[in-house]
Amino acid sequence: MAEITFYDIILDPAAYPMSPNPWKTRYALNFAKVPYRTTWVPLSQIPKTRDSLRLSANRKHMDGTDFPTLPIIHDHPTSTGPSGGTSGGEAVVGDTFDIALHLQNTYLRNQDKAAQLFPGDGGGGTVALHRAFNAFVDQIFTFNGAPLGGCYMPFDPRTAEADKADMVSRFPGKTKWDEFEVPPGTDAREKMVRDFEEVLDTKLGPCYPSSRGPFLDGRETPMYADFIVGGWLQFMRGCLPEWDELRNKWSGGKWGRLFDALEEWTDVDGRDGVVPKRR
C-alpha cells in the first residue's frame, strides 16, 4: 500500500529520535492516522536529500548561508486518511508548518472537532494563531533551552567529528564544539537554567493551566500547538542534563504532564525494531 514517506534526521543510531521539528511532524502524522514510513537521513545527507526531491533550503544559518534541514514528507497519490479518503495527488512538502497544513487540509478537514490539527479554523484565524505560537515557542527553546542542551546531542560516533565541525563553522567566533558547553555545576549554567525555567513558567506556562486538561488552554484533546511544544520537549529529553528537573518539577510538573499526555502519538517506525525506549 502506498503511503507517506517521512524524512527524519538520524543522529546516533543507538539514541531515541530527538530533532524538534521532525517530532512536530511525527506527532501530527500519528494524530492524523495516515499510513507512513520513515526514511532516516544522516546529517551530512540532508542537502542531497532535499536536492533529490527538488526542494530548496527553507531556512538560514546564523551566518546567512542556506540551512537545508528536515522534516520532509512525500505524499504519494494513494495515501489514505482515517476516513478512507485519498490525498488526490502527489505532494512533496519540506517545511514543518506546511506539512501540518497539508495533513489538515488533505486528511482531517471533514473529521470531527476532536480530530483537527487546527480546530475551528473557518477563515484561517486558527492557522494564523498557530504560526505566531510556533514562532513564540521556537524562540523560547532556541534561545533558552538549546544553549543548555545542544552540545550534548548524541551524534553518530562514525561521523561525529565531521558533523560537529560543520555545525561549528556556522557560528561566527566559534572554533571547536566544546566551546558551546556551559558545564553543569558552574554558576553560569545555574543562572541559565533558572532563567530558562522562569521563561517557560512565565511566558509559556499560562497557556497550560494546571487545574484543567493537559493540553493548550486546558483542553482534553491536543491540537498542533501542543505538538509544537511536544517537539521541543522531545529535544530537551534527548540532550538536556536537567531534563528530569524540567519534566517533573518546573511549573509544578506541567511539562511532564503534557509530555506524558502526548505519549499516544509517539509511535516511531523504520528502525528495524531497535529504536531505544525513551527515558
| Whole-angstrom distance, CA of residue 185 vs CA of residue 267 | 35
Instruction: Compute the radius of gyration of the chain from its Cα atoms.
Output: 19
**Residue 100: closest CA among 225, 229, 255:** 225
Kindly list the domain boundaries of the chain, sorted by start residue.
4-265
| Whole-angstrom distance, CA of residue 73 vs CA of residue 247 | 30
- Can you give the pTM of this predicted structure? 0.92
Question: From residue 78, how far is each of 74, 98, 99, 116, 268 by CA, in Å?
Answer: 12, 20, 17, 21, 22
Look at residue 65 in the predicted model and tell me its pLDDT. Answer: 76
Check whether 120 has a pLDDT greater than 80. no
Q: Is 114 exposed, middle or buried (0-12, 13-18, 19+ CB in 10 A)?
A: exposed
Look at residue 111 in the predicted model and tell me its pLDDT. Answer: 83
| Residue 1: all three cell numbers together | 500500500
Range with the poorest average pLDDT among 24-33, 53-62, 64-73, 179-188: 53-62
| Whole-angstrom distance, CA of residue 261 vs CA of residue 213 | 9
List pLDDT tens digits, range 210-256. 889 999 999 999 999 999 999 999 999 999 999 999 999 999 999 99
Look at residue 270 in the predicted model and tell me its pLDDT. Answer: 62
Residues contacting 105, CB < 8 A, separation 6+: none
Average pLDDT (21-49) is 95
What is the residue-averaged pLDDT of the chain?
90
**What CATH code would you report for 4-265?**
3.40.30.10
- Residues found in the chain: 279
Look at residue 123 in the predicted model and tell me its pLDDT. Answer: 53
Residue 87 or 5, more confident: 5
- Identify the band that residue 80 occupies on the pLDDT scale cut at 50, 70 and 90: low
